[in-house]
Structure 1
Amino acid sequence: MTTNKKKLLITQTLAACGRALLQERDDIELVEFPNLISAADFQALLTAHAPVHGVALGATRFGEAELEAAKDMKVVTRIGVGFDAVDVPALSRRKVPLMVVGIANSPSVAEQAMFMMLMLAKRANELHSLVRDGQWSTRLGKLPYDLFGKTVLIIGFGRIGTRTARRCQAMEMNVLVYDPYVSADEIRKAGFEAVADLDAALPRADFVSIHCPKTPETIAMFNAARLRRMKPSAYLVNTARGGIIDEAALYDALTSGKLAGAGLDVFAQEPPPVPNPLFDLPNVIIAPHVAGVTWEAVDRMSEQTARNILSVLDGAPIRQNVINQDVLG
C-alpha cells in the first residue's frame, strides 16, 4: 500500500546513482520536480502530494511555508553544501534536520579556484584574444605571471578552503589562512600561516581566494575599503557565494588600476543581469556558479544526498552532514 510509503520530492538534477539508491527501497515513493521551480508552484506541489516526508533540493527555496505545505517533513537535503536559500531556524523549530553533502564537491570547487587563479595570472583571456586578433607582435606587452613564490590568502578553512590551500602549497605558493572560527593551532598544524587580522593580511596577498559561507557577517565583506587594502597587482577569486564581494566596488577597483583582476563563479543576483559592466573587462574571468558541479561532483553529491535522506528515515542521521545540530538528540 502506497499509504505506508515515505514520499520524497527530488529535483530532476539528482543523478541516476542517487536516484537508484532511493528507488531500490520498497518503502519510498519518489516525486520529481524541476530545479528552478517557482516558490508558488513548489508549495502547490508539496500540498498536492502531502504528506511529504523528505525533499532533495537544488536551488529551490525552502522555509516555513513549504514545511507547512508538506505536513510531515522529516528531512530536508541539499544536493550541495550551500544553504542560504533554506530557512534553517524554521526547520529547527520543527526538529527537521537540514543536511548537505559534506566533502562531495569540495575537490571540484578547489580545482575551479586554482583554475581561475591560473587563468588570471597567465592572462589567458588576453593572450587568447591577442593571437585570435592578429596581434602577435604585441605579446611581450602582456607577459603572464607565475604562481610560484606568490602569497595567497585563503578566506575560510573549511572543506573547500583546506583543499584549496593544499593545492596552492603544491604550486609552491606561500599560504595564509584567515578563519576566525578555526584555531590558529589547527591552521599551523596543517602547514599554513594563520592570520587573525584580515585587514592587515590583505596587503600581503598576491591572490585572495574566498571559501567562507554567506552570512550576515560576510555579506559585502569585500567592500570598497577592503579592496583598497589589496595590492594593485593582486587578484581576487570568489567560488563561494555571491554578495560577499560588493560588485560595484569591485568594478571600480578593476577599472581604476587598484586591482589586477578577478575570477567570479558566483554573483549577488543569479543569474546576473546582462549587460553587466564586469563582463566586458579583459581582466575578469566569469562562470555560471558551476565550480562544484562537475560530472563527478554531481554523482558524488547525488549519492550522498540519497544516503543523507535514508539515514534520517532509518533513524540514524549522518551527524557530520547535519547543519542544524540542535535537532539531534
Structure 2
Amino acid sequence: MTANKKKIFITQTMSPSGRALLTERDDIELVEFPNMISASDFESLLKEHAPVHGVALGATRFGEAELEAAGDMKVVTRIGVGYDAVDVAALSRRKVPLMVVGIANSPSVAEHALFMMLMLAKRANEMHALVREGKWAARLGKLPYDLFGKTLLIVGFGRIGTRTARRCLAMEMNVLVYDPYKSTEEIKAAGCEAVSDLDAALPRADFVSLHCPKTPETVGMFNAARLRRMKPSSYLINTARGGIIDEAALYDALSSGKLAGAGLDVFQQEPPAVPYPLSELPNVVVAPHVAGVTWEAVDRMSEQTARNILSVLDGGPIRQNVINQDVLG
C-alpha cells in the first residue's frame, strides 16, 4: 500500500455497486473479509493489515480489541441499521464515528413485516399443505382472516415502524403506535393513534409488530406477563432484534392456544439451534434474519455504507447517519 492510501476492510456481503464507489477512488485500498469470521481471526487480520482506516461490517462484532488491532481507525460502518454488536462507547472514547445506513433497508423490513402478517392471517403454510397433501375438503375448517378492519399495534415508530404503518393503513387497518420517544402529534399526523401505555394497548391489538432497537430497556420486553395481555386471536411479529421477546414464554403461549401465531425474522440466538421448537409449531412463520436483505436493499445499504466511509475520509461525515454524535465537532 502506498503511503497516502487509506485501507478499508469490507465484508463479503457488500454489493458490487457499493464496492464500485470505493474502488473508483485511487486513494483507497480494499481488503475483503468473511461475514462470519471469528473474533480472533478478525483481530489477527486487522493486525496483519494495520493500519486500517475504515471498516464496513456485516454481522462481525467490533470493539476495543479491534480498534487496537486496526491501529488508525477513522470510521466504523454497518451495512445495516442495528449496532448491538458494536461497542459504541469504545468508539466514542477514540473519537471514531459509528455509522449506519439510515433509510436504505427500511422499506424492505416494512414489507417483510406486512408479508408475515399476511402469511399468518391467510394461513399460507396450512393452505399450501392442504393442496400438497390432497386435503382439499378440509379447507373450510381452516378459514383465513382479513387484515381489513383489524387493529395493528406498532412498537417503535422510527424509519421502519413509520413505513410499516403506511403499508398497513393502505390495507385499511387501524394502527396504534407505542413509542415513548415520539410525540403524539407526529404519530397522529401519520394517521395513527398514539398510545402511552403498552400494557393497556395490547388487549386491543389483533397484530403487534416490533420495530424498536435492542437496548437494556427493550430486552425481554415481551415476557410471559406481556404475552398474557394479548388476545388469544392475536399475532406477534418481530423483524427488529432477537431478545426483545422471551422465546420460551412465546412457545408456551403459542402451544397452549393463548396466542394465535407469530412471525419471527430474528432470534435470541442466531442461528437458532436445530431443531428449533418455535419453528416446529404450525402457527409460526420464521425467516433467517433477512427482512432487510433483499437484492435492492443490499445495493442501497452497500452504496450508503460506501458514502458513509467516504464522507468521513473527506472530512464531512453524513451527520444523520452517525450513531455516536458525541464524536462530531
Class of the TM-score when normalised by the shorter of the 2 chains: over 0.9
CA positional deviation for 1:212: 0.3
Name the counterpart of 1:55.
55
Correspondences of 1:1-329 after superposition (within 5 Å): 2-329=2-329
- Matched AA of 2:253: A
User: For residue 161 of structure 2, what is the amino acid of its counterpart?
Assistant: G
Once residues 128 and 21 of structure 1 are traced to their aligned partners in structure 2, the CA distance between those partners, rounded to angstroms, is 44
Q: Secondary structure at the match of 1:3?
A: coil
Counterpart residue identity of residue 174, structure 2: N
Shift of 1:213: 0.3
Distance 1:277 1:270 in 2: 14
Deviation at 1:2, TM superposition (A): 1.1
Counterpart Cα distance in 2 of 1:125 and 1:281: 11
Give the number of equivalent residue pairs: 329
Structure 1, unpaired ranges of 5+ = none
Partner SS for 2:217: coil
- Note the aligned Cα RMSD (angstroms): 0.6
SS in 2 for 1:65: helix
Give the Cα separation in 2 of the matches to 1:191 and 1:125.
32
Question: Identity, % of aligned pairs?
Answer: 85
After TM superposition, give the deviation of residue 279 of structure 1 in Å. Answer: 1.1
Q: Give the Cα–Cα distance (whole angstroms) in 2 for the partners of residues 17 and 72 of structure 1.
A: 26
Deviations 1:140-188 (A, max 9, x none): 1100000000000001000000000000000000000000111111111
CA distance in 1, matches of 2:219, 2:325: 24
Q: Distance in 2 between matches of 1:255 and 1:59?
A: 32
Q: Deviations over 1:18-73 (max 9, x none)?
A: 10010011111111111100000000011011111000000000000000001110
Checking the alignment, whether the CA contact within 8 Å between 1:239 and 1:266 is kept in structure 2 is yes
Q: Report the TM-score, using the length of structure 2 for normalisation.
A: 0.99
1:171-215 deviation digits (Å, cap 9, x = unpaired) = 000000000111111111121100000000000000000000000
Q: What SS is found at the alignment partner of 2:35?
A: coil
What amino acid is the match of 1:299?
D
| Deviation string, structure 1 residues 268-327 (Cα, Å, up to 9, x no partner) | 000000111111111000000000000000000000000000000000000000000111
**Distance in 2 separating the partners of 1:158 and 1:2:** 43
Q: Equivalents in 2 of 1:223, 1:283: separation in Å?
A: 19
Give the TM-score of the pair, scaled to structure 1: 0.99
Contact 1:2 1:29 (8 Å CA) reproduced: no
The one-letter amino acid paired with 2:191 is G
Distance 1:46 1:201 in 2: 48
Measured after TM superposition, the shift of residue 131 of structure 1 is 1.3
